[in-house]
Structure 1
Amino acid sequence: MSHVEREKQKLVARIKRIRGQVDAIERSLSSGDDCADVLMLLANVRGGVNSLMAEVLEDHIRLHMLTEKSSLPPTELAEDLIDLVRAYLK
């Protein structure tokens, strides 16, 4: 169980970093910084969120889909994975 707790702590730490990045965007917009600087901050947040989404999605696949649905035929499992990726990575 401690392994799961360490993973949760890592994910929470990532969210805190993203929150700090969003705060930096707000400060940058409020102070009238250059558009290029704001765009770079936005790209950083997008990268952080995408990375977090990928990690949580990977954990979901490994911990839930591949164990709970292991009795599914490979083609049905593949379709479930494709649906999952399409739903969350739009």
Structure 2
Amino acid sequence: MAHLKQDKDALLNRVRRIGGQVQALERALEGDAECGRTLHLVAAIRGAVHGLMDELIEAHAREHVARPGLTDEERKQGLEEVLEAIRRYAR
């Protein structure tokens, strides 16, 4: 995804925050945290991953489906890639 280079730092920061959230969840489980706190941590991780996926899907669609100048074959391939990612994500 070479077109993401301009957003690379922001994307890496998001991934690092998600990593921090996962570490907090691990600590909560190891420390026998209350159920409510553990549920909150899992929900926060899910939301963060969902937001990251939304951003990546949008970037892919703009670059590989909607960008002017693409051939029909390139658009078709870009669409298939994003649909496959959505199918896998939705499982």
Same structural fold, with TM-score higher than 0.5 when normalized by the shorter chain:
yes
The alpha carbon displacement at 1:65 in A equals 1.0
Pairwise CA RMSD? 2.9
Contact kept? 2:25, 2:41, Cα under 8 Å? yes
Relative to the length of structure 2, the TM-score reads: 0.73
Cα distance change of structure 1 residues 82 and 20 upon mapping to structure 2, 3 Å threshold: closer
Q: Distance in 1 between matches of 2:69 and 2:90?
A: 22
Q: Distance in 2 between matches of 1:82 and 1:57?
A: 7
Cα distance change of structure 1 residues 56 and 82 upon mapping to structure 2, 3 Å threshold: closer
The alpha carbon displacement at 1:68 in A equals 6.7
Amino acid in structure 2 at the alignment position of 1:16: R
Unaligned runs of 5+ in 1: none
Aligned residue pair count: 84
Unaligned runs of 5+ in 2: none
1:8 aligns with: 8
Query: Identity rate of aligned residues, in percent?
Result: 35
